Amino acid sequence: MSAATESAPIFEAEALMGIATDLFETMVDGEPGHLTLWWGEPPELEDSRFTWVDIQGQPATRVLLAASRETGEQLTRALLALPEGSAVGDEDFADAVGEVANVVGGNIKSMVPDGGALTLPSVAHAAPDAPGAIAIIDTYLSWRGAPLHVSLWALP
Amino acid sequence: MKALVIDDSRVMRRIVTGILRGVGFDTVEAGDGKEALERLTEHPDVALCCIDWNMPVMTGFEFVVEARKRQEWRDITLMMVTTEGEQGQIVRALAAGAHEYVIKPFTPEIIVDKLELLGLVGARA
């Protein structure tokens, strides 16, 4: 996808942050304070995994999340209430991180004038190819000190 | 009282099931609308369905439409639990026969409040 960033009037980074904050406070952590903006240089994500959903409306939009496998496993343990350090299988991993993208995407969809359909979440080792896509929001969050890359794309 | 939790995400089924069991429900689960219709046939004592919208095979909305066609299931309470938060979607679901609507993300208190409104659990002091 293109790294070019342009503004789009209907989405604000604060709204995306609000959606993510609500999600983590209510369903991941069960308490506030563990998700913040990432301050400083954009971090390198080690052994990255990507999850996304598309909003097939006008404008067509993609919500893309990226994190290290380790952070994704932490997220999976939190959502599935698994013990700290327990093994996380690929199926649970995809289910959990995909659901995070689904909830964020569904809430973004409600802000799209013609929301259309929401795709089922995808999870992969690489970001999906989308020539001509334009980044609307591109930001890093910190969840319990670990980086999460959150971006919103206008699809051609 | 028995509830059917319908969501393609095992994570979401676990969360919703945990909340329902906490207020005394027995639960069964389904991963899509078609499977949910089968579960309802197998479990005629289901009193509540918690239904995701966006699922493969058969969506939650399609499930509501199908379930409402069946006379023997007319007393089942249908509650959408979904990310689909647009007013138009809410109206569609309620018009099709859903009784309540919860938008993800949610807290356990939100679910329990809805169940109280529906008269499915006792009001808290």
Give yes or no for a contact between B29 and B9, defined as CB atoms under 8 angstroms apart.
no
What local confidence, expressed as pLDDT, does residue A113 receive? 76
Task: Answer left, alpha or beta for residue A85, where phi above 0 means left and psi between -120 and 50 means alpha.
Answer: left
Q: Is the CB of B11 less than 8 angstroms away from the CB of A96?
A: yes
Q: Please name the residue of chain B whose CA is at the shortest distance from the CA of residue A112.
A: B86
Confidence of residue B85 (pLDDT cuts 50, 70, 90): confident
Residue B118 CB contacts under 8 Å (≥ 6 apart), including other chains: B48, B77, B79, B99, B100
Q: What is the ipTM of this complex?
A: 0.89
From A26, A99, A109, residue closest to B9, measured CB to CB: A99
Q: Mean pLDDT over all residues of chain B?
A: 95
Question: Could you confirm whether domain B2-117 is CATH 3.40.50.2300?
Answer: yes
Q: Please name the residue of chain A whose CA is at the shortest distance from the CA of residue B81.
A: A103
pTM for this predicted structure: 0.91
Q: From CA B61, how far away is CA B51, in angstroms rounded?
A: 8
Task: Answer left, alpha or beta for residue A129, where phi above 0 means left and psi between -120 and 50 means alpha.
Answer: beta
What is the set of domains in chain A, with CATH numbers?
A: 13-154 (3.40.1550.10)
CB contacts, 8 Å: A25 with chain B = 105
pLDDT at A8 over 70: no
Q: From CA A16, how far away is CA A63, in angstroms rounded?
A: 10
CA nearest neighbour of A109 among B46, B38, B86: B86
Confidence of residue A11 (pLDDT cuts 50, 70, 90): confident
B22 touches chain A (CB under 8 A): no
Q: What stretch of H or E contains B33?
A: helix B33-42
Question: What is the least distance, in Å, from the CA of B29 to any CA of chain A?
Answer: 16
What local confidence, expressed as pLDDT, does residue A63 receive? 96
Q: From CA B6, how far away is CA A25, in angstroms rounded?
A: 23
CA nearest neighbour of B16 among B64, B91, B79: B79
Q: Please name the residue of chain A whose CA is at the shortest distance from the CA of residue B8.
A: A95
How many beta carbons lie within 10 A of that of residue A127, not counting itself?
Answer: 17
Over residues A54-83, the pLDDT tens digits come to 999 888 999 999 999 999 999 999 999 999
Q: From CA A97, how far away is CA A85, in angstroms rounded?
A: 17
| Cα maximum dimension of chain B | 42
Strands A134-143 and A146-154: antiparallel
Over residues A20-62, the pLDDT tens digits come to 999 999 999 999 999 999 998 989 998 999 999 999 988 899 9
How many beta carbons lie within 10 A of that of residue B68, not counting itself?
Answer: 15
CB contacts, 8 Å: A106 with chain B = 54, 82-85, 104
State phi, psi for B52 to the nearest 5 degrees: -75, 155
Token code pair at residue B65:
């439409």
What local confidence, expressed as pLDDT, does residue A31 receive? 94
Over residues A108-147, the pLDDT tens digits come to 988 877 778 999 999 999 999 999 999 999 999 999 999 9
What local confidence, expressed as pLDDT, does residue A59 receive? 83
pLDDT at A4 over 50: no
